């Protein structure tokens, strides 16, 4: 089901934006009686009237690690959030008021003053609704949100809720096979914003660069209720605010801007000015009076992405990807948006000389996508399908929806160079073949201007998915999950496996994951697993394979697993979480970071 209206909320002379971030009232439902809040209609009652003590919960943040209570960290089921807000009287006339969530994990329903206003499933994606009709202007209003973190066979990703059989404990337990903590709550910012009655509801851009000529094709959706004759004025400004191009268009729907002598968007270290962004302005005027009805401005990088059976090209130049798999994860906040962390991560990415990361294993915040555009960091944009196992029709529909919402949200970002449709689905199973056939056929109807990829860990002669992809990515833990301790087998295995994939499928090949868990500060010579020395030795062997592979043009990239340590479910082989980070969870370097930095810079400058 296609969604609309995923434009990022931006202020302009016709639009106001107000943040609802801060401390909200919060109640954790009793896990074994999740329905209590719904049955007692807490959204009408107000959380303070329930007789259950509320706590102050920060938004945005995962709720799990805010307190010292295991019951909240490991909660399975529903939680309730609530706050009040005050829409000014000036918003009552000639306006629409919208409520927008950057993401809530996993399933949610929202009420305004007791009226159901909004429902959404699948975390990591924005959703919104016009709420004007529920509001009391110039008065206090109540916003209530119910969030359910349970995963099952049809959610993306899948999980299973099991019940402990012992009588003393009938608490449900969420199990899942993916390797990161199932954090939940209001993970990203909440905004109230206004648009005029006639407003731009959606924009799709496609850019291209050929022989120094840039081109922006735009498609607009205008909510044009009363059919007032309108005129669209499009202006393109450069970074210093100089007008580059201007166009008047009576067709409100689409058009093209040609930019001679364009300053293209380039990846980091491919140009002295990476991440160049223009400012694109769409303004709608009433045709008779020329009164301004709505204006929306957005940054735009102008670049081309092309691919063939061997290479990926940005602005006609083949790129070699020096990257990471990452996570949105930090101490206390969990998956909650944090600008300080974001700024630090981009600083480290540049310090280490990376030019790309994969949003493993779900869409990252819109704010991070803006950072990536600005800094010239390329993004392999992954949807939230990880370890898919039971390939049913309902899962397929939800997976399609997850991809539709992702493409819709991120298609205007210059940084996005590929869509990753899944991580490590169980594609040795026969049922995965028709599933991925249908899934990729669908994605190709909505996303034509970037290649499709995915990360597989199945062997090349058993996999049923990669035949449907444009770029093949494999994850392999040589000398870790296979042959642990034996670093000397790595170079040969990696080289052979990449060749096997290419020889069988004739597509560009990426190694999307390799790595070793590493305790910061733990040293052992000769190198022994879990030591910093072992991570260095394991990387060194991979680099030998990559250097040999780079003589073939079809080997187009190497991604370390992982950028930083991150939290997982409790497992005996996880010490406080997964420690395969090159940086600690607190974003300080391990020894391998220094080695990687030397390599990524040498690759960038072809030393
Ligand atoms: C993988 C997964 C990733 C895990 C990693 C590991 O193959 O894609 O999510 O974290 O292995 O360290 O086990």
- Tell me, using a 6 A CB cutoff, whether residue 513 lines ligand 1: yes
Grouping H, G, I as helix, E, B as strand and the rest as coil, residue 346 is helix
> Would you place residue 163 in the very low, low, confident or very high pLDDT band (cuts 50, 70, 90)?
confident
Q: What is the pLDDT of residues 366-413, one digit of tens each?
A: 999 999 999 999 999 999 999 999 999 999 999 999 999 999 999 999
pLDDT digits (tens, 9 = 90+) for 23-76: 999 999 887 678 899 999 999 999 999 999 999 999 999 999 999 999 999 999
Q: Where are the domains of the chain?
A: 17-149+184-194, 199-300, 317-604
Residue matched to tokens 């303004």:
283
Q: How far is the CA of 455 from the centre of ligand 1 (A)?
A: 11
Residue 1: per-residue pLDDT: 41
Is 424 labeled as catalytic in the residue annotation?
A: yes
Non-local (6+) Cβ contacts of 580 within 8 A are 515, 516, 517, 518, 561, 562, 565
Question: Is the per-residue pLDDT at 169 higher than 70?
Answer: no
How far does residue 568's CA lie from ligand 1's centre (Å)?
Answer: 10
Q: What is the mean pLDDT of the chain?
A: 96
The string of pLDDT tens digits covering residues 476-497 is 999 999 999 999 999 999 999 9
How far apart CA 35 and CA 52 sit, in angstroms, is 15
Would the CB of 424 count as within 6 Å of ligand 1? yes
Mean pLDDT of 205-220: 97
Work out whether strand 96-101 and strand 190-195 pair parallel, antiparallel, or are unpaired.
antiparallel
Which residue minimizes the CA distance to atom 5 of ligand 1?
179
Q: Which atom of ligand 1 is nearest to the CA of 568?
A: 10
Ligand 1, residue 580: give the atom nearest the CA. 12
Ligand 1 atom index nearest CA of 387: 8
Nearest-angstrom CA–CA distance, 480 and 530: 10
pLDDT at 126 over 60: yes
Identify the pLDDT of residue 171: 83
Nearest-CA residue for atom 7 of ligand 1: 475
Q: How does 365-386 read in b/e, with b if 16+ C-beta sit within 10 Å?
A: bbbbbbbbbbbbbbbbbbbbbb
pLDDT at residue 227 tops 80: no
For the full predicted model, state whether its pTM sits above 0.80: yes
Q: Is the pLDDT reported for residue 166 higher than 70?
A: no
Q: Does domain 317-604 have CATH number 3.40.50.2300?
A: no
Which residue has the least CA distance to atom 9 on ligand 1? 179
Looking from the CA of residue 515, the nearest atom of ligand 1 is 12
For helices 591-604 and 532-549, angle between their N-to-C axes, nearest 10 degrees: 20
CA distance 10 to 189: 13
| Index of the ligand 1 atom closest to the CA of residue 457 | 7
Nearest CA to ligand 1 atom 2: 179
Residue nearest to atom 10 of ligand 1 (CA): 179
Task: Place 559 in a pLDDT band, splitting at 50, 70 and 90.
Answer: very high
Tokens matching residue 252: 């409100």
Q: Is the pLDDT of residue 3 over 70?
A: no
Q: Which residues on adjacent β-strands are paired with residue 208?
A: 215
Task: Tell which atom from ligand 1 comes closest to the C-alpha of 361.
Answer: 9
- Write the DSSP symbol of residue 386: B
Question: What pLDDT sits at residue 170?
Answer: 74
Does 558 have pLDDT greater than 50?
yes
- Asked whether 561 lines ligand 1 (CB < 6 A), one says yes
How far, in Å, is the centroid of ligand 1 from the Cα of 360?
A: 10
**pLDDT value at residue 350:** 98
Compute, in angstroms, the gap from residue 424 CA to the centroid of ligand 1: 9
pLDDT of 288 above 80: yes
Contact 554, 317 (CB under 8 A): no
* DSSP track, 1-62: ------PPP--BTTB-EEE--EEEEEEEPPGGGTTHHHHTTHHHH-GGGSSSPPEEEEESS-
Lowest mean pLDDT segment, chosen from 28-37, 91-100, 280-289, 403-412: 28-37
The reply to whether ligand 1 has any atom less than 6 angstroms from the CB of 195 is no
What's the 184 CA to ligand 1 centre distance in angstroms?
A: 20
Burial class (CB in 10 A: 0-12, 13-18, 19+), 337: buried
Alpha-helix residue ranges (DSSP H) falling in 300-382: 339-352, 366-375
Picking from 344, 383, 331, 332, the residue whose alpha carbon sits closest to that of residue 585 is: 331
Q: Is 400 within 8 Å of 407 (Cβ atoms)?
A: no
Q: Does 607 have pLDDT greater than 90?
A: no
CA of 176 to the centre of ligand 1 (A): 13
pLDDT, position 2: 43
Q: What is the DSSP letter of 154?
A: T
DSSP per-residue string spanning 583-596? B-TTS-B-HHHHHH
Calculate what percentage of the chain has a pLDDT beyond 90. Answer: 93
pLDDT tops 60 at residue 109: yes
Q: Please answer whether residues 354 and 600 qualify as being in contact, where contact means their C-beta atoms are separated by less than 8 angstroms.
A: yes
Angle in degrees, CA 169, 79, 189, rounded to 5: 145
Segment 443-453, tens digit of pLDDT: 999 999 999 99
* Catalytic, out of 328, 424, 497, 591: 424
Mutate which of 423, 426, 427, 561 for ligand 1 pocket (most atoms within 8 A of beta carbon): 561
Report the top-level CATH class of 17-149+184-194: mainly beta
Residue 224 scores a pLDDT above 80: no
Assess contact for 329 and 530: CB atoms under 8 A.
Answer: no
CATH 3.30.1490.20, applies to 199-300: no
State yes or no: pLDDT of 137 exceeds 90: yes
Distance of CA 60 to the CA centre of its chain: 16
Measured from the CB, is residue 333 less than 6 Å from ligand 1?
no
Class of residue 34 by CB neighbours under 10 A (exposed 0-12, middle 13-18, buried 19+):
middle
How large is the greatest C-alpha to C-alpha distance in the chain, in angstroms? 80
CB of residue 565 inside a 6 A radius of ligand 1: no
Lowest mean pLDDT across 152-166, 231-245, 371-385, 531-545: 152-166
Residue of 368, 376, 350, 113 lying closest to 266 (CA atoms): 376
User: How confident is the model at residue 164, as a pLDDT?
Assistant: 74
Q: What is the mean pLDDT of residues 230-253?
A: 92
- pLDDT band at residue 5 using 50, 70 and 90 as cut-offs: low
Closest protein CA for atom 13 of ligand 1: 179
Q: Is ligand 1 within 6 A of the CB of residue 423?
A: yes
Once rounded to an integer, what is the mean pLDDT over residues 328-357? 98
The mean pLDDT value for 337-358 works out to 98
How many Å lie between the centroid of ligand 1 and the Cα of residue 179? 6
Does ligand 1 lie within 6 Å of residue 578's CB atom?
yes
Residue 89 CA neighbour count, 13 Å, CB half: 1
Of 169-178, 359-368, 450-459, the range with the lowest mean pLDDT is 169-178
Distance from residue 54's CA to the centre of ligand 1 (Å)? 37
Q: Beta partners for 380?
A: 358, 418
Looking up tokens 């008047």, which residue turns up?
248
Joined together, the tokens standing for residue 304 give 């081309």
Q: Is the ipTM of this complex over 0.85?
A: yes
- Rounded to whole angstroms, the Cα distance separating 116 from 458 reads 44
pLDDT for residue 537: 98
Helical (H) or strand (E) element with 308: none
């Amino acid at each position: 089901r296609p969604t609309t209206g995923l434009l990022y909320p931006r202020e302009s002379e016709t639009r106001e934006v107000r943040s609802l971030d801060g401390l909200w009232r919060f109640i954790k439902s009793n896990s074994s009686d999740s329905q209590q809040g719904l049955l007692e209609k807490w959204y009408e009652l107000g959380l303070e009237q329930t007789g259950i003590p509320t706590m102050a919960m920060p938004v945005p943040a995962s709720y799990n690690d805010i307190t010292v209570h295991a019951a909240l960290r490991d909660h399975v089921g529903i939680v309730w959030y609530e706050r009040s807000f005050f829409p000014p009287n000036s918003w009552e006339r000639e306006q629409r008021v919208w409520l927008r969530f950057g993401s809530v994990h996993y399933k949610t329903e929202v009420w305004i003053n007791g009226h159901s206003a909004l429902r959404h499933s699948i975390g990591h994606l924005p959703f919104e609704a016009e709420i004007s009709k529920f509001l009391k202007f110039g008065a206090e209003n109540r916003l209530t949100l119910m969030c359910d973190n349970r995963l099952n066979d049809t959610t993306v990703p899948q999980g299973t809720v099991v019940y402990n059989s012992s009588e003393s404990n009938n608490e449900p337990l969420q199990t899942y096979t993916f390797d990161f903590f199932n954090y939940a709550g209001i993970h990203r910012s909440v905004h109230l914003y206004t648009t005029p009655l006639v407003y731009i509801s959606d924009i799709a851009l496609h850019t291209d660069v050929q022989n120094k000529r840039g081109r922006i094709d735009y498609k607009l959706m205008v909510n044009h209720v009363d059919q007032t004759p309108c005129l669209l004025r499009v202006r393109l400004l450069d970074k210093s605010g100089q007008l580059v191009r201007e166009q008047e268009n009576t067709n409100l729907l689409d058009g093209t801007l040609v930019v001679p002598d364009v300053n293209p968007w380039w990846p980091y270290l491919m140009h002295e000015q990476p991440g160049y962004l223009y400012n694109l302005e769409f303004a709608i005027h009433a045709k008779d009076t020329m009164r301004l009805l709505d204006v929306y401005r957005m940054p735009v990088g102008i670049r081309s992405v092309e691919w063939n059976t061997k290479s990926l090209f940005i602005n006609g130049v083949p790129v070699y990807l020096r990257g990471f798999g990452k996570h949105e994860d930090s101490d206390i906040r969990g998956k909650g948006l944090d600008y300080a962390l974001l700024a630090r991560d981009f600083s480290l990415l540049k310090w280490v000389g990376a030019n790309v990361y994969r949003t493993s294993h779900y869409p990252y915040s819109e704010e991070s996508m803006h950072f990536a555009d600005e800094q010239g960091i390329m993004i392999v944009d992954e949807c939230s399908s990880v370890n898919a196992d039971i390939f049913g029709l309902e899962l397929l529909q939800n997976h399609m929806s997850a991809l539709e919402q992702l493409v819709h949200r991120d298609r205007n970002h210059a940084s996005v160079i590929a869509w990753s449709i899944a991580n490590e689905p169980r594609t040795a199973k026969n049922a995965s073949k028709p599933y991925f056939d249908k899934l990729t056929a669908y994605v190709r109807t909505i996303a034509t201007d970037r290649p499709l990829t995915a990360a597989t860990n199945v062997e090349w002669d058993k996999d049923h998915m990669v035949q449907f992809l444009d770029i093949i990515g494999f994850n392999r833990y040589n000398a870790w999950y296979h042959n642990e301790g034996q670093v000397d087998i790595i170079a040969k295995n990696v080289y052979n496996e990449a060749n096997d994939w290419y020889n069988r499928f004739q597509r560009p090949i990426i190694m999307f994951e390799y790595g070793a868990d590493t305790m910061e500060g733990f040293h052992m010579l000769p190198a022994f697993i879990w030591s910093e020395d072992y991570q260095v030795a394991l990387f060194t062997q991979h680099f030998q394979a990559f250097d040999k592979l780079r003589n073939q043009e079809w080997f187009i990239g190497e991604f370390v697993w992982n950028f930083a340590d991150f939290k997982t479910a409790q497992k005996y082989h996880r010490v406080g979480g997964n420690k395969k980070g090159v940086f600690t969870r607190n974003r300080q370097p391990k020894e391998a970071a220094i080695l990687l930095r030397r390599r990524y810079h040498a690759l960038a400058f072809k030393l």
